[in-house]
Structure 1
Amino acid sequence: MKAIQFTAKGEARLADLAIGDLPAGHALIRVKASGLCHTDIDVLHARYGDGAFPLVPGHEYAGVVEAIAADVTGPGIGARVAVDPNLPCGACPSCRKGLTNLCRDLKAYGVSHNGGFAEYSLVRADQLHGIGAMPFPLAALAEPLACVVNGLESAGLHSGSPRPREALVIGAGPIGLLLALCLKAEGVRNVTVADINESRLAFAADLGLCGIVSGSVELAANRRSYDFVADATGIASVVEGMIDLVADGGTALFFGVCAPDARISVAPFEIFRRQLKLAGSHSLNRNIPDALAILEKDDGRIARLVSHRLTLDEVLPFFTKKPTDPATMKVQFVAD
């Protein structure tokens, strides 16, 4: 089969690989759509995971079940499915508490096991979720959307909980816009997206979101105005500045991935006196069904986040060269 393979730190190639035997409990998936995430770039450069080379990347994918092991009872051959990539141990303290995303020995397809940037993928059958007639490129957004759902739950925005009136997402990239659209879909009245790139803000406006320029006088005038603020940039200075934008009694969500050695300065008295809530979020936590339920109701706006539907050959350069076109959102490998 044709696949993108990381052969060593910083080295990616297009390869012809054997599919391999079908282990017990597994299904063979014919990949129909697989999304590129910045985590894939971190995996390539050994900044995330165990540096398990050689490796087929890709943890955001959907496809069709081509074969199943003899002991698998479902889903059956021909089923259209999305993949939950996380493989927790199930036994550590975090797993026993239901925080499988914080597993001490967390593995994942596309990180420690071969993933979705290939024509076929061997996946544990219990990691598969039916998608019905949902288009594969939309279904491949279930994994990043599940990360968003986990983040909102971590911030206390559970189903049925009171919704903030004013929300701000800093960063108008694909994950920031997915977070903003999810807030909209979950009933938040006013959702604003901040970014330094005005073409991205124009796209956000086209999606029905309010836009504001990061670092502008206008944004500074809104200090302490947002009930909920989320960072989707992973830039420490931006994260530090978002605390001043949170309204008294509000919540700040640390969603973007800052460098492990980055540090910010926050006044403990301010958190105490203004009764602020600071929430962190890592990966997804068995949230694929929740994400699929949101995608089922998509009116086309979430689907528009997929800006590129490419062959494996065409996707390969995106692993090694940062896109310069601000119109680039979610890049996917999409099979015929």
Structure 2
Amino acid sequence: MKAIQFVEKGKAVLADIPVGAIPPGHALIRVKAAGLCHTDIDVLHARYGAGAFPLVPGHEFAGEVLEVGDGVTCVRAGSRVAVDPNLPCGTCPACEKGLTNLCRDLKAYGVSHNGGFSEFSIVNAGHLHDIGDMPYDLAALAEPLACVLNGLGAAGITGKASAPSQALIFGAGPIGLLLGLALKSAGSDTVTFADINEDRLAFASGLGFTPVRSGSEELLSRRQSFDLVADATGIPSVVEGMLDLVADGGTGLVFGVCAPETRVSVSPFQIFRRQLKLVGSHSLNRNIPQALSVLAGDRARMSQLVTHRLPLAEMVPYFLTKPSDPATMKVQYVDG
């Protein structure tokens, strides 16, 4: 089969590799859509995980079940499914608490196991979720949206009663926009996006969000105005300054991925005196079904986040070079 393969650190190629046998409890799927994530780039450059090469990347994918292995009853040939890529151990203290995303030995399709940037993929059947008639490219957004929903859960946002009235998100890229759409789905009145990229702000505005330029007087005048402020940039200076914009009793969500060695300064007194919450979020936690439900409720806007639908061979450059088009959002491999 054709697959994108990371053959060594920094080297991605289109390769012919064998499909392999289907182990018991697993299913063979024809990949119909797979989304590119910055994590894939980090995996390529051995900045995420152990750098287990060769590897087929791709942890955001959906497809059609072609064949199932022994003992599989939850899906059958013809099932249309989205994949939960995380492979927790199930026995460490975090797993026993239900925090499988924090597993001490967490593995994942596309990171430690071959993933979705291929014509076919073999996946543990327990990690497949029915998508009904949902388009495959939309269903492939379930994984990043599940990460977003896990973050909102960490911030205590589980529905309309807990949705922040006024929210601010730094970073109008694909993951930030998913965060904004999830907030609107939860019941937030106004979601504002801050970015320095005018094309991305225009894109956010087209989705019904309020755009503002990062660092502008307009934004600085909104100090202590937002019930939730989330960073989706991974820029340390943004994380450091965002609590100044959180309203009394509000929450700051660290969602973007800063470099591990990064340190920022915050005021413990400010957190104490204004009763602020500062929370983090990592990956998804068995919440693909919840993500699929949110996607189904906002198909039109969610699907707009996919700006590039490409055949497998045309995906390779996107792993190696940053897109030149500033309006690029989610790039996907789509079969047919």
Tell me the TM-score normalized by structure 1: 0.99
Q: What is the CA-CA distance between 1:45 and the residue it aligns to?
A: 0.4
Deviation per residue, 1:278-298 (Å, 9 max, x gap): 010000000100000001111
Aligned counterpart, 2:214: 214
Q: What is the CA-CA distance between 1:324 and the residue it aligns to?
A: 2.1
Aligned counterpart, 1:280: 280
Q: What is the CA-CA distance between 1:259 and the residue it aligns to?
A: 0.2
Aligned counterpart, 2:98: 98
Aligned counterpart, 1:321: 321
Aligned counterpart, 1:183: 183
Aligned counterpart, 1:24: 24
Aligned counterpart, 1:167: 167
Q: What is the CA-CA distance between 1:188 and the residue it aligns to?
A: 0.3
Aligned counterpart, 2:223: 223
Q: Between 318-327 and 81-90, report the one with greater CA deviation.
A: 318-327
Question: Residues 1-336 of structure 1 correspond to what in structure 2 (within 5 A)?
Answer: 1-159=1-159, 161-336=161-336
Distance 1:295 1:112 in 2: 27
The residue type paired with residue 174 of structure 1 is: P
Distance 1:241 1:120 in 2: 45
Distance 2:290 2:44 in 1: 29
Distance 1:24 1:111 in 2: 22
The question of whether the paired residues in 1 share the 8 Å contact of 2:160 and 2:188 is answered with no
The residue type paired with residue 143 of structure 2 is: E
The residue type paired with residue 294 of structure 1 is: V
The question of whether the paired residues in 1 share the 8 Å contact of 2:138 and 2:299 is answered with no
Q: What is the CA-CA distance between 1:160 and the residue it aligns to?
A: 5.4
Q: What is the CA-CA distance between 1:161 and the residue it aligns to?
A: 3.8
Distance 1:299 1:105 in 2: 35
The residue type paired with residue 234 of structure 1 is: G
SS in 1 for 2:304: helix
The residue type paired with residue 221 of structure 2 is: A
Deviation per residue, 1:87-144 (Å, 9 max, x gap): 0000000000000000000000000000000000000000000000000000000000
Deviation per residue, 1:220-244 (Å, 9 max, x gap): 0001100000000000011111111
Distance 1:89 1:150 in 2: 19
Q: What is the CA-CA distance between 1:162 and the residue it aligns to?
A: 2.4
Kindly tell me: are residues 75 and 309 of structure 1, through their superposed partners in 2, closer, same or farther at Cα, counting changes over 3 Å?
same
Distance 1:215 1:262 in 2: 21
The question of whether the paired residues in 1 share the 8 Å contact of 2:156 and 2:162 is answered with no
Q: What is the CA-CA distance between 1:273 and the residue it aligns to?
A: 0.4
Q: What is the CA-CA distance between 1:64 and the residue it aligns to?
A: 0.1
Q: What is the CA-CA distance between 1:74 and the residue it aligns to?
A: 2.0
Distance 1:70 1:153 in 2: 36
